[in-house]
Amino acid sequence: MNKIALMVVVAFSACWALPTLAGHHKVADILVDMPYVRALVPGQTMTAAFFRVANNGAQNCVLTAATSAYAEKIEFHTHQYMDGMMKMRPVEAVELPAGSSQAFKPGGLHLMLFGVKQGDNASAEITLITDKCGELSFLAPIKSIKSMPAEAMHH
């Protein structure tokens, strides 16, 4: 009788302890907002993805890589003026300190997708990999960008 009573007590205390443990081991919250992938231009195999990523956790994170079944390879890219021209440059990693956010946007930091196959996908699942804050997968709709008005106006 005594043994059974003791086991019940142990089982109960284990249950009570669980929520506390979960709270202590919580990883930083990484959130992605408004993601989209630029639709492939016919004849091309690379494109870019854009979104806003925020670190709402207490831990500083570094985005170290991105993967997707939609692309053979993904790199972080940024734009930089070189020799009077805007050029894209690969970046090894993107720092995401606690409480900060980063915009991946046209003309700035972006995800470069290589080896993309033409298809009728409506969206692409992308996974961001961090050093200490785990991985985050999100669905990015594929949007076609219409003709560029700024270019056309030069003629």
Binding site for Cu ion (CB under 5 A): 77, 88, 112
Least distance in Å: CB of 88 to Cu ion? Answer: 4
Residue closer to Cu ion (CB basis): 8 or 91: 91
Residue closer to Cu ion (CB basis): 32 or 109: 109
Residue closer to Cu ion (CB basis): 65 or 112: 112
End-to-end alpha carbon distance in the chain? 93
Sequence-separated (6 or more) residues with CB below 8 Å from residue 67 = 74, 126, 127, 129
Least distance in Å: CB of 13 to Cu ion? Answer: 55
- Strand duo 135-143 + 30-38: pairing: parallel
In the complex, residue closest to Cu ion by CB = 77
Q: Six-digit token pair at 35?
A: 């993601």
With vertex at residue 92, the alpha carbon angle to CA 124 and CA 90, rounded to the nearest 5 degrees, is 70
Least distance in Å: CB of 106 to Cu ion? Answer: 10
Residue closer to Cu ion (CB basis): 39 or 112: 112
Least distance in Å: CB of 89 to Cu ion? Answer: 8
> Which residue bears the tokens 């089982």?
11
For residue 128, give the nearest of 38, 17, 52 by alpha carbon. 52
